[in-house]
Amino acid sequence: MIASTPALRNGSREPVINRIAQRRIASRSKWVRCVGSQWIGARRYRPSYRSCESISVLKSRSEQFRQNFIDGWESEGASLAVFVKGKKVVDVWGGYADKQAARKWEQDTISVTFSSTKAVAAVCIAILADRGRLKYDDLVSKHWPDFAKNDKGNITIEWVLAHISGLQYFDTEITKEMAFDHNLMRSAIQSEVPKTPPGSTFAYHAFTYGWLVDQIIRHTDEKHRGIGQFFREEIAEPNGIDYHIGLSSTEEYRVARVVLQSTADFLSELWHDPKAVIPIIKFYTTGKNHYMAKAFSNPSWVDIMDKCTVNDPEQHAMEQAAALGIGNARSLASIFNLLVTGRLIGEQTLTRIEKPVLKEVELFGSSPLAMGLGFFHHPNEGAETSYLIGHSGFGCQQVIFDTKNQIVFAYVTNGMKAGVYDGCRNYARIHKAVLDTVKRRKED
C-alpha cells in the first residue's frame, strides 16, 4: 500500500506515517539499478526498459529482485542477470558493495562467486574436450603419468568433475606458498592417497576440485596454461567478460566486501524454511573427523564460515577454481550464454555435458543429487529427462542454464545466506519467476 502511494510534491503536507514508511522502505531497498535506467529508490519503483529485449521478462524479474531488498532478505548487495536465446533481458544490481564504507554496488562491482566458480572451470575442460585435447573418460594419468602414484591410476577426468575421484580432501597441509606455485601443488597431489575407493563415493570436492582441474588443464592444454590464464585468454578477453580466476591487483577496488550472515538473518531464514539451514547446522554439528570438516579445514587460511578470509586481496589473486572466482551476475551469465548458444563448444560436446554422470546421495547430504561433468543437474519443471544445469556457491551464489530453451540466469551476492539453490529464498523467488515466464511463453 505504502509502496504504491505516490509521493506528494509538497513534502511538508505528506502524512508523517507515509514519510516514515517511505524512509524505512528506502533503507531496506537500498538502491537498485537496471540496464538503461536511473536509480530506483523508495519513491521511484519502475525502471526504464528501453535497453532491454523483453519488457515483460525484465519487469517481473526486476520486481522480484527489488522485493528481496524491501523484505529485508538482501541485507548487503546483489546482482541478477538473465539471457534468453543469446540476448540479455535482465541486468539489475543493488544494495551495497561495502555497507560499512557506504560504498554502493555499482554496475562494475564484482564479488567472490565461491563454488559457482567450479562451473566456469568445467566450461574450460569442455573446451579442451571439444578440441580433442582430452576425453572425459580418459584416465588422468594418461595426460599426467605421475598422478597414478599412490593408487590413483584408475581415476578418470569424469570422476574428478563428478566428485567421485576419492580426493575430496588432501592430507598434505596446503600453504599459501603452495597455492601460488603449481609445481608445489602438483607434487602435493601426486603424494595423495584416495580417501574412498575412486569411482565409488559421491563426496563433494570443496577445494580440491580447483587444484585438480588446474593440473588437468596444464597437462592437456597445448600451451600448458593454468586455469586462470586459460580462462582469461580463451573466454574472458575475446568476449569482453568481466570474470576472473586470479584477479589483478589493479581491479581490487571494484570487489565487494563479503559479509557473513548475522544471527538475526539466520533465524529469519530458519523461520521461513527450516530445511534451508540444515546444511549449515550439519556442518557445525558434525565431528572433526568427518570428511566435510577435513575438506573445509584445509587450507586452514581459507575460512568462509567464521572469519570470511575471502576478503583478503591475496586470496583474490589466487587461481583457485573451486571457490575464488570473481565476477558479477552479468559476467557469470555471459559465460554460459556463450556455452548454450554454441559459441564455445560444438553440439556433440554440449550434448555430453547435458547428461548427468550419477544420481545419488552425496556423502554429506540427505537426498539424491544428479551430478554431471562439473555441474549439478536439477529436474526441469518436474521432467526427469530434462535438466536445469549449473552450480551453486556458498552464500546464495547461483548460475543456471537451460540448453533446450537457451536460457541462462545468474545471481551473485556479497551478503551470505544459509540456503543454496532453491533453498535460498532470495534466489528461489527469482528462479520461480523466470521459469513461470518461460512456461507462459510456451503456452502462448
- Are 300 and 152 in a shared domain? yes
Q: Please tell me the distance from the alpha carbon of residue 322 to that of residue 210, in angstroms, as a whole number.
A: 4
Q: Which residue has the higher pLDDT, 25 or 413?
A: 413
- Are 188 and 311 in a shared domain? yes
- Coil, helix or strand at residue 440: helix
* Segment 212-255, tens digit of pLDDT: 999 999 999 999 999 999 999 999 999 999 999 999 999 999 99
Q: Please tell me the distance from the alpha carbon of residue 406 to that of residue 408, in angstroms, as a whole number.
A: 7
- Are 131 and 12 in a shared domain? no
* Segment 147-188, tens digit of pLDDT: 999 999 999 999 999 999 999 999 999 999 999 999 999 999
Angle at 254 between CA 390 and CA 314, to 5 degrees: 80
Share the mean pLDDT of the chain.
Answer: 83
Going by pLDDT thresholds of 50, 70 and 90, the confidence category of residue 35 is: very low
Under 8 Å between Cβ of 65 and 71 = no
> What residues form DSSP beta bridges with 400?
390, 409
In a domain, 78, yes or no: no
Instruction: Return the CATH number at 132.
Output: 3.40.710.10
DSSP H or E segment with residue 56 = helix 55-70
The total number of structural domains that make up the chain: 2
Q: Judge whether residue 6 has pLDDT over 80.
A: no
Going by pLDDT thresholds of 50, 70 and 90, the confidence category of residue 87 is: very high
Going by pLDDT thresholds of 50, 70 and 90, the confidence category of residue 278 is: low
Sequence-distant (≥ 6) Cβ neighbours of residue 361 within 8 angstroms: 202, 367, 368, 369
Sequence-distant (≥ 6) Cβ neighbours of residue 122 within 8 angstroms: 161, 213, 353, 373, 374, 375, 391
Handedness of CA 340, 342, 347, 349 (dihedral sign): negative
pLDDT at 53: 40
Going by pLDDT thresholds of 50, 70 and 90, the confidence category of residue 429 is: confident
In a domain, 36, yes or no: no
- Are 261 and 352 in a shared domain? yes
Under 8 Å between Cβ of 324 and 105 = no
pLDDT at 414: 97
In a domain, 103, yes or no: no
Inter-axis angle of helices 55-70 and 425-443, to 10 degrees?
160
pLDDT at 19: 40
The one-letter amino acid code at 332 reads: L
What is the average pLDDT across 276-293?
68
Q: Judge whether residue 273 has pLDDT over 80.
A: no
- Are 254 and 398 in a shared domain? yes
pLDDT at 9: 33
Instruction: Tell me the C-alpha to C-alpha distance, in Å, between residue 238 and each of 117, 182, 227, 246.
Output: 19, 25, 16, 17
Q: What's 147-178 look like in SS3? A: HHCCCCCCCEHHHHHCCCCCCCCCCCCCCHHH
Sequence-distant (≥ 6) Cβ neighbours of residue 96 within 8 angstroms: 30, 76, 77, 102, 103, 104, 105, 256
Tell me which residue range forms the domain holding 7.
1-29
Q: Which residue has the higher pLDDT, 367 or 64?
A: 64
- Are 10 and 124 in a shared domain? no
Q: Please tell me the distance from the alpha carbon of residue 13 to that of residue 396, in angstroms, as a whole number.
A: 42
Among the residue ranges 205-214, 259-268, 281-290, 357-366, the one predicted with the least confidence is: 281-290
- Are 11 and 123 in a shared domain? no
Among the residue ranges 32-36, 155-159, 218-222, 433-437, the one predicted with the least confidence is: 32-36
The one-letter amino acid code at 149 reads: K
In a domain, 132, yes or no: yes
Instruction: Tell me the C-alpha to C-alpha distance, in Å, between residue 375 and each of 284, 350, 411.
Output: 26, 12, 16
In a domain, 85, yes or no: no
In a domain, 97, yes or no: no
Q: Please tell me the distance from the alpha carbon of residue 421 to that of residue 353, in angstroms, as a whole number.
A: 20
In a domain, 46, yes or no: no
- Are 152 and 13 in a shared domain? no
The one-letter amino acid code at 203 reads: A
- Are 298 and 436 in a shared domain? yes
DSSP 235: I
Under 8 Å between Cβ of 355 and 361 = no
- Coil, helix or strand at residue 426: helix
In a domain, 153, yes or no: yes
